[in-house]
Chains A and B, each alone.
Chain A
Amino acid sequence: MTPQLELTLPNQRSGVAQLQDQLESFARQHGLAARVFHDVQLAIEEHLTNILLHGYGDNLEHQIRVRIQLDLPELRVEVEDDGRPFNPLAQPEPRVSQPIDERPIGGLGIHMMRKSLDGMEYRRAEGKNILLMIKRL
């Protein structure tokens, strides 16, 4: 049986923090290497923050569904939200070699996701953004 964790959280900071706590328990329970876990946690934080900040044009509560699966040799995390269509994979890369005073401040979150993960897949279906994040263990 593939160990997995499925959670639904509201689009609020407190929901994200709770998810991260549960993720930590899952990682400890299944003996995931700290490095691997850190990278996944970072990617999830960045993606959920983007959803919270940019996903919705209303002040309503929305539900975000997260499913984590330990499918050796990979850890797979799928995040589903009903916000505006947004494909993180289609965003341009920031230029990390520009001098520090000229670097624009935006675009870092997606860059960190790309660097932290071994793969990402995006699709849009039935009014939802579905992002799959893959980390090799």
Chain B
Amino acid sequence: MDIGKRISGDSLELMLPGRIDGAAAHQLEVEVIAAMQQGYKAIYVNLAQATFLCSAGIRVLLQYHRQMKGKGLKLLASRPSPEVTSALEMTGFPELVEK
């Protein structure tokens, strides 16, 4: 999966296209860990082009949302596609999405 990146100040946006399966969830985790080490204060996981979000992906979002929140920082999913919205609602995590 080719993860796109957009930086603005101390915010990072990661763009994830296509199917976020187990392997893609792992790739996302690697990117998030690197971003946290680089000191970004806000990380947005843009899911406008994602066709599919599995539980492994939700777990990564949840785990690092909590970690960032614990430091007074932010990690949220942004612009979820309808399929992603439905996956997040199905599992009860609408708070992971940027309003």
Residues of chain A touching chain B, judged by Cβ–Cβ distance below 8 Å, are 13, 16-17, 20, 38, 41-42, 45-46, 49, 52, 94, 96-98, 100-101, 103, 105, 108-109, 111-112, 115-116
* Nearest CB of chain A from residue B8's CB, rounded to whole Å: 26
- Say yes or no: B55 contacts A46, CB within 8 Å: yes
Given that A100-B93, A101-B66 are known contacts, is A38 also in contact with B52, CB under 8 Å in the complex? yes
When distances are taken between beta carbons in the complex, the residues of chain A under 8 Å from B91 are: 94, 96, 108, 111-112
Residues of A with C-beta under 8 A to B69: 101
Given A17-B23, A105-B63, check contact A115 B52 (CB 8 Å).
no
Query: Number of A-B pairs whose CB atoms are under 8 Å?
Result: 61
Q: Given A13-B22, A17-B23, A108-B55, answer yes or no on A42-B87 (Cβ-Cβ < 8 Å).
A: yes
Contact A100:B52 (CB < 8 A) given known A20-B21, A111-B90: no
Q: Which 4 A-B pairs have the closest CB atoms?
A: A96-B92, A108-B55, A109-B55, A115-B90
Q: Is there contact, CB below 8 Å, between A41 and B92?
A: no
Q: Give the B interface residue count (CB, 8 A).
A: 24
Is the CB of B49 closer than 8 A to any CB of chain A? Answer: no
A96 to B90, CA, bound (A): 9
Q: Which residues of B contact A13 (CB under 8 A)?
A: 22-23
B62–A49 touching, CB < 8 Å = no
Which residues 59-99 of B sit at the A interface, judged by CB distance below 8 A? 59, 62-63, 65-66, 69, 83, 87, 90-93, 95-96
Known: A41-B52, A97-B92, A112-B55. 8 other contacts (CB 8 A): A13-B23, A16-B21, A20-B21, A52-B22, A105-B63, A111-B90, A112-B54, A112-B87
